[in-house]
Amino acid sequence: MSAPVIAPVRPAFQALATTIVPEATRLTTGEWLEVEAIVEDYLSRRPESIRRQLRLFVRVLGLAALARYGRPLVALDPATRTRFLARVQDAPILLLRRGFWGLRTMVYLGYYSRAEAANEIGYRANARGWEARR
């Protein structure tokens, strides 16, 4: 069994997730655990090196926020976190941009794979395709 990715960095992951998907601020503890389980399930099928890189990237973002603002990532207000992540997203260093893209993808996967999120946005995909809507 692989080491968990999210649990060791949970507070930072949740701070990042609520910045990437602001609606995530309304998630309950149980819903956060569901998001985490979805991400962990997906990552369980990926190489350990990818899992380690994602965990490390979240930690690096935390240290970068501490160095830049003198406060941990979780202590930054949402507007400051948004500005910080915009800088990471647009960084001249390709590795940072790729890391952010991967993190954002995991946040979207975890948040929008929940049935409640699909209902909130009106997503009604069906295996029968358009026939199901007629």
Whether 44 is covered by a domain: the verdict is: yes
Q: Is residue 30 part of a domain?
A: yes
Mean pLDDT value across the chain = 92
- 71-101 per-position pLDDT tens digit: 999 999 999 999 999 999 999 999 999 999 9
Range of the domain at 46: 13-133
Burial 60-83 (b: 16+ CB within 10 A, else e): ebbeebeeebeeebeebeeebbee
In a domain, 8, yes or no: no
2 is a domain residue: no
The verdict on residue 6 lying in a domain is no
* Per-residue confidence (pLDDT) for residue 106, from 0 to 100: 96
Whether 1 has a pLDDT exceeding 70, the answer reads: no
pLDDT of residue 122: 72
What is the count of structural domains for the chain? 1
CA dihedral 90, 93, 99, 102 (to 10 degrees): 60
pLDDT at position 10 over 80: yes
Q: Mind listing the pLDDT tens digit for each residue in 93-124? A: 999 999 999 999 999 999 999 988 877 777 76
Asked if residue 112 is part of any domain, the answer here is yes
4 within domain boundaries: no
119/57: higher pLDDT? 57
